[in-house]
Amino acid sequence: MGADPIRIKQWAFGIATAVLGITGALLIIVAPVEPTLDRTYIGRTFCVVVMAGLGSMSGTLVAAIILGIAETIVLTLFGASWAPAISFAMLLGVLAVRPQGLFGRRS
């Protein structure tokens, strides 16, 4: 009815690739890229996705903002070594209270 799904997917892929390229270029400017770089981000990414609820885009946004603010507060008050600890502590707290995630689907 007017919208070609193949064309939309092609545009979405092109935009995502462009954003990824820009992000990669900015990351190289800010910090050196090395093989162990993924270890810095994988734990936080896991916490955000599980806290949000698998498949929930709005939950991912809210969880990322909450986690970012909490990590910044802990980083400022207690130091850099405690920032990953708060990520996993918040993850365990959300899983204890609401196992399907913040905005997850109810079964």
| pTM summary value | 0.66
SS3 56: coil
Tell me, yes or no, whether 67 and 20 share the same domain: no
Same domain, 92 and 72: yes
Q: What confidence score (pLDDT) does residue 8 get?
A: 92
pLDDT cut 90: percent of the chain above it: 40
Does residue 11 share a domain with residue 41? Answer: no
44's CB contacts (< 8 A; 6+ apart) are 67, 71, 84, 87
Identify the pLDDT of residue 105: 64
Q: Are both 93 and 41 inside the same structural domain?
A: yes
Q: Which domain holds residue 50?
A: 35-107
**Bigger pLDDT: 13 or 24?**
13
- Give the sign of the dihedral formed by CA 15, CA 21, CA 22, CA 24: positive
Tell me the per-residue pLDDT of 59-85, one tens digit each, with 9 for 90 and over. Answer: 889 999 999 999 999 999 998 888 888
81 & 62 share domain: yes
Q: Quote the crossing angle between the two packed helices 57-78 and 38-52, to the nearest 10°.
A: 130
Together in a domain, 12 and 58: no
